[in-house]
Structure 1
Amino acid sequence: MQGELVFLHGWGMNKAVWQLCIEELKESYKGPIKSVNLPGFGGANVPNGEYTLASATQLLGEQISDNSTIVAWSLAGLFALKLAELYPTKVSKIVLVASSPCFVEALDWEGINEQVLNDFSEQLQNNTTKTIERFLAIQAMGSERAKEDIKTLRALLKAQPAANENALSVGLELLKSQDLRTLFSRLSLPIYGIFGRLDTLVPRQVPARLADLNPLFSYEIIAKASHAPFISHRQSFLSYLKSIL
């Protein structure tokens, strides 16, 4: 019996982004498949009390059955790693999609310049819709199909209720503050990754760095993809995913 296949979305988005992939996978994957909204996104509940990575991961944990494979895009990679730490029996495999245990660049690490995230946080206070639009543009930047990618993401985003303001703000804070590299290096379950070589948010040097941190990590890089390879290069993404499953 194959375990559940669970898809988690990135910042500012919702579970509808996985719709097209799930429809195709249903033909070949024999186990249950679902996509889940991160707490506060797409109309999902937010944690009681403070919204932290741990409290939000607990809410996610309640929706995931044992022996699941977690496919996590971007911000959701932090949640997937935390799920594996807090609920080891629930997570049998992790697939990171254009994701990293540490998103901000440091002396010894490639990532997003912290000022970019600070700017987003500031803009979020003034105009949520505009900030999410700008984030969509950055995610598609570099992709040869950037315009179509943005259009697709925008349409899928509208399929669910708007994100909670606090969840958006905390999500950016998590991208800025979390460094789960030590946790990533300690995990003893299979971890896979699929990345876009043209991604400006998770630079192309990151996958090799992750392989140095954890010998159980293996990955693929799609040459002409950016930050949303499952949108711009769905067939390549799905064939890699099927090879893992």
Structure 2
Amino acid sequence: MTQTKLHVKSVGQGLDVVMLHGWGVNGAVFTALPDLLPQYRFHFVDLPGFGESHVVAGDINDWLASIIANVPKSAIWIGWSLGGLVATLAALKYPQHVTALCTISSSPCFMAREEESWPGIPPNVLVQFATQLTQDLDKTIERFLAIQAMGSQTVKGDIKQLREWVLAKPQPQFTALDQGLDMLARVDLRNQLPLIKQPWLRIWGKLDGLVPRRVIKLMPNLSNSEDVILPKASHAPFISHTDDFVTALDGWLKKR
């Protein structure tokens, strides 16, 4: 099968780093990073149907296959939120392509599972988003951006920055937004996490409104994993607490 050509913006020189964004936005959310980390070659992927990338039919495995076909064959993968879920699956399914993994504000299972005491997004919230998508696309994305900054001390500035970068590219396709919500609702990688053998940095915001901090304690404590919790950050720590985020990421990247 011929893979869809995705939009990937490559910036800088050095170690290859693949960057995957979250739901409702695009690769432009990482705009500030190349100037702060000039010693790396970043590959900012617009996920299928977001930004300047075409829609890819199917599920998270189909998305991942398209990304694999459009990025360097050996790289560090960094994923934020939904992008972290995709990057985690990449480390499991294509270990030869992923030399190291970093997940930012990302859960292996975003949906709350009350019967298993697993914290996450309440099912009714995702149902509401799915319903609102069909009614008012712009308002739904705007609301989601607000939730991502919830809890941050610089919430207004965070939303403004997110909006400016996101709106610089084409609006996401409805199909892609719907696919992404389905992934957030259905994908569960919890049982597979101990199979990850690559170095794994997990960055969390203690005030995250989407990934509860209780998730951190439930993650497997692996010899190759490392957790960094930013005490005053929310769901987008690379925007609200850029310096702290860059310090943590750079320290880890230098070990690679």
Query: Which TM-score band (shorter chain)?
Result: over 0.9
Match of residue 65 from structure 1: 72
Match of residue 24 from structure 1: 36
**Cα RMSD between the aligned structures?**
1.4
Normalised by the size of structure 1, how large is the TM-score? Answer: 0.93
Aligned pair partner of 1:229 in 237, 248, 251: 237
Match of residue 9 from structure 2: none
Q: Distance in 2 between matches of 1:133 and 1:215?
A: 39
Q: Percent identity?
A: 39
Letter aligned with residue 69 of structure 1: I
Q: CA offsets, 1:211-244, max 9 Å, x none?
A: 34x4422111111110000000000000000011
8 Å CA contact 1:143–1:232 kept in 2: the answer is: yes
Unaligned runs of 5+ in 2: 1-12
Match of residue 10 from structure 2: none
1:120 aligns with 2:129: yes
8 Å CA contact 2:43–2:71 kept in 1: the answer is: no
Unaligned runs of 5+ in 1: none
How far residue 199 of structure 1 moved from its aligned partner, in angstroms, is 0.4
Q: Distance in 2 between matches of 1:2 and 1:20?
A: 17
What does residue range 1-245 of structure 1 map to in structure 2 within 5 Å? Answer: 3-26=15-38, 29=39, 31-47=40-56, 50-106=57-113, 107-212=116-221, 214-245=222-253
Secondary structure of the corresponding residue to residue 126 of structure 1 = coil
How far residue 2 of structure 1 moved from its aligned partner, in angstroms, is 5.6
Secondary structure of the corresponding residue to residue 209 of structure 2 = coil
Q: Distance in 1 between matches of 2:73 and 2:60?
A: 20
How far residue 93 of structure 1 moved from its aligned partner, in angstroms, is 0.8
How far residue 82 of structure 1 moved from its aligned partner, in angstroms, is 1.8
Normalised by the size of structure 2, how large is the TM-score? Answer: 0.90
How far residue 81 of structure 1 moved from its aligned partner, in angstroms, is 1.5
Q: Distance in 2 between matches of 1:86 and 1:186?
A: 10
Letter aligned with residue 233 of structure 2: A
Letter aligned with residue 19 of structure 1: T
Q: Distance in 2 between matches of 1:58 and 1:3?
A: 22
Match of residue 6 from structure 2: none
Letter aligned with residue 202 of structure 1: V
